[in-house]
Each structure stands twice: as C-alpha cells, then as structure tokens.
Chains A and B, each alone.
Chain A
Amino acid sequence: MTEALRPVFAPWNDPDEKPLIQFKNVTKRFGDFTAIDDLTIDIFEREFFALLGPSGCGKTTLMRMLAGFATPTEGTILLSGQDIAPIPPNKRAVNMMFQSYALFPHLSVWENIAFGLKREGIKGDALNSRVDEMLRLTRLERFARRKPHQISGGQRQRVALARSLAKAPKLLLLDEPLGALDKKLRQDTQFELMDIQEKTGTTFVIVTHDQEEAMTVASRIAVMDEGRMIQVDTPARIYEAPNTVYVADFIGDVNIIEGRAIPSGEHVQIAWGEGVSDITGTTDKSFDNGEKVHFAIRPEKVSVSVEKPDDTPNAFQGKVLDIAYLGNLSTYHVEMPNGQIIKTQSANTRRLSRRAITWDDTVWISFTATAGVLLKG
C-alpha cells in the first residue's frame, strides 16, 4: 500500500468501531484517597494507548485494574464487551509487562518466555516453536539459555516483552517499560516497541511519566492528573492543541501568557500588560470581553530577529536575557517591557560565529496569529 492509499488509523473517530476496552464511570478509592475519579474512556483494537501523568495521578492504578490486581470501587470495565471485574488475573486475556520486568530469576530466558504458555498446557513442538518465534521477534535467540542476571538491562527488557507477548494477549499492558534503560537505548527501544506492536497487532496500553516516550510511541495519549483524564488525543493534537494550561505545560516547553480577551471579529486580542501592544490570536472558543485568558505558545513558533519583521500581526520588542546553545538549537529568553519573559527557539542553520544576536541586545520577537492557543481559566 502506498502512503496516500493507507487509511489513517483513527478508530476513535469511527462511530461504528467497537472499542476493545471500555471504562464506564470507573472510580477507585483507597480509604479517603480517590485514585481514579469517575473515568469514562474507550480504547480500540490495535491502539498504542499511552497513560501519561506525574506519579500519583492514577495511571498505575488504572493499569492494575485492567490486569486484575485491583477492582474498581464503582463503575465497570468492559473488555470486548464483557465485564472483567469477576475474572481473576490468571484468567484474563490481558498480559502485563512489569516495571523493572519481574523476570523469574531462577529460570532461563527460554523458560521465562515459556512460563505462561506452559500454564495453558502447551507443550512439545508447539511450545518450542512459539518460544522460538518470540525469541526471534525480540532478537534474543543467542541468550535463550542464560539466566536473567547474566544479560544486560536492554536484553532483560526484551525478555519481559517476549514473555508478556508469548500468550498472544488481546491487550498488553506496559508499566514504565523503558524506565530502567539509559536515554540512547530507550530511544532505540521505543521504535522497536512500535515495530513489534505493529507486527503482532496487539493493543498496547503503556504507562509512562516520560512525555517524549508517550509522544513517540502512542497513537493516542491520555494526560492524567489527580485521577482524571484531562485530555485524550493524538500526540500532535495534545502538543498543538492542548485543552488546558495543565496539558500545555506538561507536554514540552511552552510560554504561558496571562491576559484579558478582547474579541474583535474573527480574531481575539489579548491585553497582557503595560507597555506592550495586544497579542492577536485565533480560536474557536468564544470569549467575553475582558474575560481572563491564557495564551500558550511553543518556543519554536516564536521567531527572533534584529529588524522588525513585516506583515505579522504579532511583533514585540524586548531585551535578550539569556541564550542557551543546545547544538542543533538555540534558546533565547527575551524580556518584555512588562517583565514577562518569552522563550524562543530556533534551529542553528548558520555557524555560531556568524550569529547576529547576543546578550542584552534589543530584538524583535514575532509569531503568526494562529501560532498560539487560547485557553480559558
């Protein structure tokens, strides 16, 4: 199939699609503490669904309820339309890849992978061929006879993945699967995970606190906070169109500017302090005159220049406070006359020695009317 003919994978937009997992008004309390607060969400087959949030936001509790190690206090969870509350963990068509892997230290790699299959009564050639297939999938053939303590962290991660995929579950849960790996290995492994997910066609639900990881692997991300899902959307929409200040701030770097809205035709003007002209933005939300508004704009969407740029609705003069050189990128912190500091980011397409802007220079920052997002509250 060519790229153009391939249909966009977005079952959540298709009203005829039946979800694999349905959370219906699920609440989970531990004593006084509400870990999950009246949560309703559908997850579809073949999705790579990421639960993203700070520690204590309820993402792990959500996953443990899917695995069967916790039961909801209220509400129901359906798997292929069936209520899973009465089904114990060992009878669910759900497998889990545990944080720090939980490999059986007394069993070899091969036996670890075969563990779940043997419990189903698979033996002989069927067992051998399935385990070998898993070993091939995770490129572990050479380590089959080793014990978990005799292989590296990255290999252990792959054993854990192979073990949890061996039974071909309908749903695979991954609890911080890459947390124990160093950064470089983590990036490689992310692509490997996506590859394996695509090959096996399994639905993956991943728990992570690493937003970059969620952005890379997921088809949809649920940003969670205090037991609630703040926004559930594709990585691009989460990044470009966050629905709250919390989401905008949690994902990536962002400038949050507080101001008052002044609707004018199809644009909204934002008054954001003394000594600066209003920001012009666009939105599909309706704002009252003088309503409090947060304007969120990503640093890479703000450009910085010595001369005042033409034909842009938003151009403001400020002073360079800080420059951070990141190799491929440079970040400038520009102080506005009203004291607000705006971060800008630009690619270093020129050699450093020819850079025109330095500390304490007066510069112009500019962005288009559609570059930022207007958020209520």
Chain B
Amino acid sequence: MRRFALIAIPYFWLLALFLVPFAIVFKISLSDIALSIPPYLPQLELAKGWEGFTKFLGALDFENFEFLMMDDLYYKAYLSSLKIAAISTFLTLLIGYPIAYAMTRASEEWRPTLLMLVILPFWTSFLIRVYAWIGILGQEGFLNQTLMFLGLTSDPLIILNTPIAVYIGIVYTYLPFMVLPIYSALEKLDDRLLEAAEDLGCSRIKAFWLVTFPLSRGGIIAGCFLVFIPTLGEFVIPSLLGGSNTLMIGKVLWDEFFSNRDWPLASAVAVILLLILIIPIILFQRNEQKQRESEG
C-alpha cells in the first residue's frame, strides 16, 4: 500500500500536469474556430446529459489537421525549425565540448569557480539577455561599432534579423545545458584510463578519440537532447533576433494563437509539435536508461 502511494505521486503529477492539459489541447485542436468566449466550438454542455455529450463528440473533427497538411507554411515551418534546432545543437556541442573539457582539465580549486561562471547567466532574466543581443548585433550595435573602429569592415554587417542572429542567440542561451552534462561525464573519467591507453601505444590525441570521447558519449547525448528539444519549439529568440525572415514553428504557433485568435489551429500545431518531440524524448529516455545500466 505504501509502495503504491509512493508510485502514485509521480503518476498523479504526470496526469495532472501533462496528460490532462494535453487532453484539453487535443480537444481544442479538434474544435472549430468561433467568435465566442472561449473562441471555439463545440462546448461541452453537461447540463443536457448524454445527449449533450454525443452532440459534442459529433461536432469534433480533424479539419485543422487537414488544413495543416494543405498549407505548406506549416510544413515549411516544422522543417525549418528542425533544421535550425539541429544546426544549433551541433554548434552548441562544438563550442560546449571544449569548454567542458577545459573545465575538467583545470586545477581542482578552480573548478567550482568555472562551474559557477557557466551557471551565472541564469541569474539574469532570459528576456533581458536576449534583448542585450539586439544591442550587440544591430547595425549600430556594439559588435559593428567595434569592427568598424578596428577597421575590419567599412560597412556594418547585417546580422540582426537573420538566421545567424538566431543561431547566436540559441547557442548562447543553451550552452550551459550542453556544458554541464558533458562536464559531469568527463569529470567521472579516470585519468588512469588515459595513461593505460598511452601505455598501450596511443598518442595523446588518439587516446582522446578512443577513450575520452566515447566515455563522454552519455553526456554528449544528454546535452544534445537538452538543447535540441527546447530549441525546436523556441519562440522568444527567433522572434526577437530573427525578424520576419526566420520561420520557426514556435513563432507560427504564437501568431495563430494571439494574432489570429485561432485556438483550434494553434492547438493542432502544438499537438503535431509534441508528436515530433516524442521521438527524441523517447530516445533520450532510452539513452539515460542504458547509461544507468552500464554503470550499474
């Protein structure tokens, strides 16, 4: 009984905060847009009893999903989001891995400080930090002024409102999520394994690729998912830094919801996004489990 109660807590949590909201969103995605409050039909009228319920069910349909298939805007937005998420995940890994590696090579007394520096940006509001990038990347911004002052460029570079700005923003924001899991994987690595690899004929570089890198794989995969999953639905960064040129599904969702007030279509977009995300989430879970098993 006590065991049941213990398991019940996380399951209740999941039910209340994930499954129920998802069921509501899914229901809305099957509804039709209407000029009412809330702005969709049908409404469930429980007062009318069983008849009301069947009438409600009969009015639900997959029209919104069909519409998503027909208009290539959505299809393109999903693809573009996937592309941006994949590229920025790769860039974050490319920058994050050396940072994590350098942190584990630093002397013992420096490590807490370095770890602190990685986490430090979280102390400021995310929104303010993204706004700061507008000030840095703009035509009159800090970066262009510096470059022009140094004579490296005569005309200001156009970075803001391009995909490059979005990549910069995403890599900057999500870097700690990449660095921390890789750092924790590398920190556990026994130095004697590298000595053993050298002893058996590896050069330092070879030992890195044959020992360090495969043994940090768990951290790399965890970091990639932690960056990829939220980036896919990212809204704030592309809308602040990407301008109108960057098509991302998070922005489309926002427009449908708030500009068009088309809750049913927005919900359909969200449901599809979730279905796309379920695949990497399941893969992530499996990776975590395998990791645990191999350490067991």
Whether B200 pairs with A115 at a CB distance below 8 angstroms is yes
**Closest residue of A by beta carbon distance from B196:** A102
Stretch of B56-64, B161-169, B201-209, B274-282 lying at the A interface: B201-209
Whether B201 pairs with A119 at a CB distance below 8 angstroms is yes
Hey, which chain A residues are within 8 Å of B196, CB to CB? 96, 98, 102-104
Known: A106-B215, A119-B206, A149-B296. A69 touches B201 (CB 8 A): no
Interface residues of B in 195-240 (CB under 8 A from A): 195-203, 206, 210-211, 214-215, 217
Contact of A89 among B198, B211, B214 (CB under 8 A): B198
Whether A106 pairs with B199 at a CB distance below 8 angstroms is no
Whether B294 pairs with A105 at a CB distance below 8 angstroms is yes
Whether A149 pairs with B200 at a CB distance below 8 angstroms is no
Contact of B195 among A91, A98, A147 (CB under 8 A): A98
Whether B193 pairs with A104 at a CB distance below 8 angstroms is yes
**Closest residue of B by beta carbon distance from A94:** B199
Whether A102 pairs with B192 at a CB distance below 8 angstroms is yes
Q: Indicate the member of B195, B200, B206, B296 with the most A CB atoms within 10 Å.
A: B200
Hey, which chain B residues are within 8 Å of A167, CB to CB? 200-201
- Measured CA separation A32–B195 after assembly (Å): 26
Is residue A95 contacting chain B, with contact meaning CB distance below 8 A?
A: yes
- Measured CA separation A163–B200 after assembly (Å): 9
Whether A116 pairs with B200 at a CB distance below 8 angstroms is yes
List the interface of chain B (C-beta within 8 A of A): 190, 192-193, 195-203, 206, 210-211, 214-215, 217, 294-296
Whether B195 pairs with A89 at a CB distance below 8 angstroms is yes
Hey, which chain B residues are within 8 Å of A119, CB to CB? 200-202, 206
**Closest residue of B by beta carbon distance from A163:** B200
**Closest residue of B by beta carbon distance from A64:** B195
Whether B215 pairs with A105 at a CB distance below 8 angstroms is yes
Q: Indicate the member of A95, A102, A147 with the most B CB atoms within 10 Å.
A: A102
Is residue A311 contacting chain B, with contact meaning CB distance below 8 A?
A: no
Known: A105-B294, A106-B214, A149-B294. A120 touches B193 (CB 8 A): no
- Measured CA separation A152–B257 after assembly (Å): 60
**Closest residue of B by beta carbon distance from A120:** B201
CB distance from B184 to the nearest CB of A (A): 16
Hey, which chain A residues are within 8 Å of B295, CB to CB? 149
Interface residues of A in 167-211 (CB under 8 A from B): 167
- Measured CA separation A149–B203 after assembly (Å): 26
**Closest residue of A by beta carbon distance from B190:** A102
**Can you list the 4 inter-chain pairs with the closest CB atoms, starting with the nearest?**
A116-B200, A119-B201, A102-B192, A102-B196
- Measured CA separation A312–B211 after assembly (Å): 67
CB distance from B222 to the nearest CB of A (A): 16
Known: A106-B214, A106-B215. A89 touches B294 (CB 8 A): no
- Measured CA separation A99–B190 after assembly (Å): 12
CB distance from A294 to the nearest CB of B (A): 41
Can you report 9 residue pairs joining A to B where beta carbons are below 8 Å apart? Answer: A69-B195, A89-B195, A90-B202, A90-B203, A96-B195, A96-B199, A116-B200, A164-B199, A167-B201
Interface digits, A43-71 against B, CB 8 Å rule (1 contact, 0 not)? 00000000000000000000000011100
CB distance from A20 to the nearest CB of B (A): 18
- Measured CA separation A147–B293 after assembly (Å): 12
Whether B201 pairs with A104 at a CB distance below 8 angstroms is no
**Closest residue of A by beta carbon distance from B194:** A102
Question: Besides the contacts A102-B190, A119-B201, what 16 more A-B pairs have beta carbons closer than 8 Å?
Answer: A67-B195, A67-B199, A69-B195, A89-B198, A89-B199, A90-B198, A90-B200, A90-B201, A90-B202, A95-B200, A96-B199, A103-B196, A116-B200, A116-B201, A119-B202, A167-B201
**Closest residue of A by beta carbon distance from B191:** A102
CB distance from A267 to the nearest CB of B (A): 54
Interface digits, A95-115 against B, CB 8 Å rule (1 contact, 0 not)? 110111011111000000001
Hey, which chain B residues are within 8 Å of A68, CB to CB? 198-199
**Closest residue of B by beta carbon distance from A149:** B294
